[in-house]
Structure 1
């Protein structure tokens, strides 16, 4: 009996389960059938009406619209266009060749449009923003209820029930156009985008791949309370952009109009490659200025396009700096920045100027006998304008080394002026300004003064010349024009003065030269040196050098070839007490290339200078002896005021006259 009863119970349960499953299948069939019985354009029209109600914009479908079950339950449309803001004249905000829209069936019948998935083929998205803050992606700008309008006594609980929800969006081969009034339009093609937004009140995640230059960039964005953010309310946002050569991240709060505040980090093992991937263009970042960079900063961007950087810490190729900056964004950013640093090594600026480009023909690096012919790329001067103030403990430019430095860089329309406010260098001080002008071809010039400058250090660093020591006061003004260092050095012009106290000249012993005629290999110790120069066509010309030694006074004149890296200079030391106070001079000619100049006494000039009086005395003595012989042998007497030649001519005329007279007698 028990067995029969238990079997009956199980049988009844199975029948009810079968009936329940049948009912569920029937319900599902009715639901699916109801969707399939709805024309595709009816579903599209329902979606379009809901979107219009939510955004105030028309969504227009053209072509056939079909209901689908696979891969999503929904519709597949033909070409589609979403209207732009009423103030725009640039056409639709969104167009696509086709859309595949998956919808939630229950929500559709309930009046809500809950889209589970959208696939867009070849869409074009145009984002526009006006200077007054209007943006075409703000569908319903917030407008507070006037305080004098009372709230309804019995609000409709279903008034806000119907809503538009997009759970998942996939976009392939999109074109994104971003146009801000008064700025260059950004136009990026071949973009893939995925949006996941499962809850209307929750966060949205974007995962995109952009290819501004054909190289893929990964862009990941997460926005909290995406619906509120899309209506203009700033929300917590995280952004990560990565690609070949580097990555950028942001964590903070941001609004849909571009305002933001938070922490940003930039890490670029290959800054040039990363900038190229971003579409900035081929950029060869000099070593020392961030070829490899690690940067963090607190950033704030307000709606009028002013970006503020605070507490910025930068590591650029091992150079550590701290910075604060205010940047007015635009086609040409306006920068006002303050930088502070310890010891900076930017010798790569000099090395970069001398390094030939791999694809450049007819260029060469600098050598001991020539300057670099590699074209100078000063295009960076056109990328921004403004003022950058720098203070550093020391700066190594390679060919110039500075100690404690305060300087300002002012850039205006591709012209930069570096003002040396306070610079300690080579045991002295330097002040003045240097100009780099790339407005119409490249040129550089400047004017500066140096006091107490150690000549050995500065000449060694700038020209590789180590023969002269002493503390100098220098004044120099110069101008050079050219597209390479070689061109600039070969047409330098300008003028200057030099005044040196006690110092030395190695490789030349003027005292030994005076005594023995051999001054090579020694060292000259002098009390003072003064000179003025004129620069013309890359040559330094001087004719008033004065070098004072205890018993020797040396003058100099000649040419120093800055362009050719050669020298042709005559130094004339005079032993002022020699030859009974008449002095004794042995000129020395320095000639040849800077790397190996020849120092040779000029014997011809020495004879001319030292024996001029003796030569004149000898000439007078010979002339007197000739006159005495003529008087004795020929009877020629020189009258007062008459030269010997004239007396001989008179004597010949007299003798010829007497001979002719005898001939006719």
Structure 2
């Protein structure tokens, strides 16, 4: 029995010595190089491409199964710009042998040095990776329904890789159809301490079209079934020495139904400098050259491939801060909820300079004159669903200020409802609602707006840079229109409203002087040195609009000095004026804002011409035809105040009566 045991151990020991000797000696005595042609033939059959291996092929077996080679090339088919699809400068890998028997993979190193990949799409649409790896051998038709599916996962107990490195890789993509060439150079990827149970350290650097990008951090642990379950991330992204961002969170089922929960923090950077580093021209020209120079974003994001929710969102731009929450319930078609709060923003900084804006308006006018106006496609608006809320502390625009703005927009099936749009405006408030319907060929819009206690003078001075009206405004408007161009809107504008101004003045026009003094008011006497104005206690202007024609049945101005009514039309389409200003009563020759003694008759005023060139003339016909009292006094005033040399050219021999008729064609003197 002892001899038998001794023989067994001697036999086992001898076999072990033989195996060990084979592992150590075989790589030394066997010429692996002579198998290179066979290996290249097999790889060529598998890929369907020409293969060459010009460098050495080395093999080691114990204690690590090691493979290394150099100068590997996988060729391109004929008709492409580069000879090779793949080039590998060198490759080296070492896998421990004995743990493989226990389904454990231990890799000492995996190093791929200088790989180059060239991808090309030709003008005919064919690519150099078409049919790569296809085989002409017929596939077996396996109809055995009892075949068991392979178990999920890798079927391995563990994986450990001490060093996984890709160095100095190059990727070039050429699309001849689109005329696009993209190139990535200097690509380096290094993974250390790769393990299924611990986080993997990652470093990635590359130069994309001449611009440096980088990524570092950790991924994992991968878990026993990589691609399934949770995959933690903790990464820092850098690009172009300008952009730095942190991403921390986890991916769920990365290879299946992907879901994610991420915290994203983009540090403050300059969009201007970023695009400059990309050698790209900044897409907008702003009035303030320092605008769009500081941007930072942070948010928590969770979602899937079809939806995303953002919470605790914060964006800072040039000193303006926006806090927001977003829920995209569906990406396509878009179903979006948004709630944002902006502290303040100066829009004037981001508008184009005045010279550029005027040039753009001139170009737009020229294009519209050609008769070829591009139609707006409203189909995307018909598909989206929106529920957005926005509150803004203050907006500066066109030199003016809007405060405490509240906007709520709901959109569904091409109907957009703004309810409300409210704000504080120059001591008062504005509240409005609007509906825009784009279900048809042209959008139809309805608008209701109410203002209370708005100070008109400062508003016009800031926004319009004009000093034409003062007072406190209360208004109520209800308008509707069809179309998306100014011309179409003016032609289709309908509605009604009323404007009430109190304790104000019309600046630049002296209605009291016009209705009192024919000579001074219509250019027949010296102009006053003081800026003319018409003070009033109340100015009420009711109006209706029908297809762009604005009619006021009786706009009334009241003051201690006078009572004036205005009736007539203003055509928004032709910009023609046809109005009549009529004095009702004068209580005294001195009154509110009237420091100079005024004498003369109250004469109705006709307002004709256009918006840009209004024409004022006395309605003498109405007086002389007996529509107003004291016609004889009017005649006497004309005879005394209008000398022939003021109304008649010196070289024309006309009578005074003829001259008056020429000055006012509608005047009829019996």
Give yes or no for TM over 0.5: yes
Q: Are the equivalent residues in 2 in contact too, given 1:168–1:197 (CA < 8 A)?
A: no
Matched position secondary structure for 1:456: helix
Structure 2 residue 605 is the aligned partner of structure 1 residue 588:
yes
Q: Are the equivalent residues in 2 in contact too, given 1:353–1:374 (CA < 8 A)?
A: no
* TM-score normalised by structure 1 residue count: 0.60
- Which residue is equivalent to 2:213? 218
Q: Are the equivalent residues in 2 in contact too, given 1:575–1:584 (CA < 8 A)?
A: no
In structure 1, the gaps of 5 or more residues are 1-26, 49-57, 81-95, 127-138, 146-157, 178-186, 366-372, 619-665
Moved more, 250-259 or 595-604: 595-604
In structure 2, the gaps of 5 or more residues are 1-23, 59-67, 77-83, 121-128, 131-149, 367-371, 522-527, 589-599, 636-670
Give CA deviations for 1:323-358 in whole Å, capped at 9, x if unaligned. 233334634654322222333322467758994498
Structure 2 residue 543 is the aligned partner of structure 1 residue 533:
yes
Distance 1:394 1:204, change over 3 A: closer
- Which residue is equivalent to 1:73? 69
- Which residue is equivalent to 2:249? 253
Structure 2 residue 104 is the aligned partner of structure 1 residue 107:
no
Matched position secondary structure for 2:33: helix
Structure 2 residue 189 is the aligned partner of structure 1 residue 195:
yes
- Which residue is equivalent to 1:16? none
Q: Aligned partners of 2:400 and 2:208: how far apart in 1?
A: 43
Q: Aligned partners of 1:381 and 1:248: how far apart in 2?
A: 34
Structure 2 residue 364 is the aligned partner of structure 1 residue 363:
yes
Distance 1:299 1:267, change over 3 A: same
Q: Aligned partners of 1:576 and 1:263: how far apart in 2?
A: 73
Give CA deviations for 1:239-270 in whole Å, capped at 9, x if unaligned. 425369x6351231243446242232165533
Distance 1:316 1:262, change over 3 A: same
- The CA deviation at 1:39 is 3.1
How many residue pairs get matched? 515
Matched position secondary structure for 1:78: strand
- The CA deviation at 1:556 is 0.9
- The CA deviation at 1:419 is 3.1
Give CA deviations for 1:152-185 in whole Å, capped at 9, x if unaligned. xxxxxx96479898531665335699xxxxxxxx
Select which of 77, 88, 98 maps to 2:86: 98
Larger radius of gyration: 1
Give CA deviations for 1:304-341 in whole Å, capped at 9, x if unaligned. 55444344332334423322333346346543222223
Q: Are the equivalent residues in 1 in contact too, given 2:219–2:232 (CA < 8 A)?
A: yes
- Which residue is equivalent to 1:431? 431
- Which residue is equivalent to 1:398? 398
Q: Are the equivalent residues in 2 in contact too, given 1:276–1:282 (CA < 8 A)?
A: no
Q: Aligned partners of 2:93 and 2:497: how far apart in 1?
A: 90
* TM-score normalised by structure 2 residue count: 0.60
Give CA deviations for 1:517-541 in whole Å, capped at 9, x if unaligned. 4468543333333223234565533
Q: Are the equivalent residues in 1 in contact too, given 2:216–2:237 (CA < 8 A)?
A: yes
Matched position secondary structure for 2:467: coil
Q: Are the equivalent residues in 2 in contact too, given 1:421–1:431 (CA < 8 A)?
A: yes
Q: Are the equivalent residues in 2 in contact too, given 1:576–1:584 (CA < 8 A)?
A: no
Select which of 580, 584, 604 maps to 1:574: 584
- The CA deviation at 1:498 is 1.9
How big is the alpha-carbon RMSD for the aligned residues of Structure 1 and Structure 2?
Answer: 5.6
Q: Are the equivalent residues in 1 in contact too, given 2:476–2:498 (CA < 8 A)?
A: yes
Give CA deviations for 1:65-87 in whole Å, capped at 9, x if unaligned. 5363499735725369xxxxxxx
Select which of 235, 240, 259 maps to 1:238: 235
Structure 2 residue 565 is the aligned partner of structure 1 residue 555:
yes
Q: Aligned partners of 1:44 and 1:589: how far apart in 2?
A: 101
- Which residue is equivalent to 2:474? 473
Distance 1:569 1:295, change over 3 A: farther
Matched position secondary structure for 2:363: coil
Matched position secondary structure for 1:432: strand
Q: Are the equivalent residues in 2 in contact too, given 1:408–1:419 (CA < 8 A)?
A: yes
- The CA deviation at 1:103 is 4.0
Q: Are the equivalent residues in 2 in contact too, given 1:204–1:225 (CA < 8 A)?
A: no
Q: Are the equivalent residues in 2 in contact too, given 1:526–1:547 (CA < 8 A)?
A: yes
Q: Are the equivalent residues in 1 in contact too, given 2:578–2:607 (CA < 8 A)?
A: yes
Select which of 620, 634, 638 maps to 1:603: 620
Q: Aligned partners of 2:246 and 2:181: how far apart in 1?
A: 22
- The CA deviation at 1:361 is 7.6
